[in-house]
Structure 1
């Protein structure tokens, strides 16, 4: 049987009044902050002051079997090489 996806699909559950819907949905402009908001996770550092901490990072130069893609600027393994352009090598993901 063919289905008309453009036809309106109303059921008895869809006939709620606007007022009933507004009572059920929380007011987003109320200014109340939810502490357990999953979209905005907080970072608890345990009250530690990390301002005097120095971070040392070792940066390795590109290896012989690696190249930097001219499109995405990521260092890729030679197995991801697709072709050379006039600007430099391009990876398979960027060529697709």
Structure 2
């Protein structure tokens, strides 16, 4: 449980004065703010201004492998030749995966 160290401290007498009913009411108040919400339903209601992209198509141009690039056999990302760390069993490994 989080402790607020800036809050005024209660003496032992004041702490014993808290009744069971008060403590139960405080616990109920803390839980009353939680709401079950369907994330998918909530996301459908959000609308970005001017962002109607329903009729847009995504076109991607794939470039052939360049002579100074390699694909890491561990992470499968394309790296520049300067990122080559080692070769394991004939497979090229980048610096990030070799570390």
User: What's the TM-score once normalised by structure 2's chain length?
Assistant: 0.56
Whole-angstrom distance in 1 between the partners of 2:94 and 2:51 = 44
Bigger share in helix: 2
Correspondence for 2:28 = 22
Asked if 2 retains the 8 angstrom alpha-carbon contact of 1:68 and 1:76, the reply is: yes
Structure 1 residues 47 and 70, CA, compared in 2 at 3 Å: closer, same or farther? closer
- Structure 1, unmatched stretches of 5+, are 1-8
Residues 24 and 60 from structure 1, CA distance in 2 versus in 1: closer, same or farther, beyond 3 angstroms? same
Larger radius of gyration: 2
Residue matched to 1:48:
52
* 2:61 corresponds to which of 50, 58, 63: 58
CA RMSD of aligned residues (A): 3.7
Q: Number of paired residues?
A: 79
Alignment match, 2:93: 90
CA contact (8 A) 1:71 1:90 kept: yes
- What's the TM-score once normalised by structure 1's chain length? 0.57
**Residue by residue, what CA displacement relative to the aligned partner does 1:42-81 show, whole Å, maximum 9, x if unpaired?**
4537473624x44321100111111000000000011110
Unmatched 5+ residue regions in structure 2?
16-21
Partner of 2:84: 81
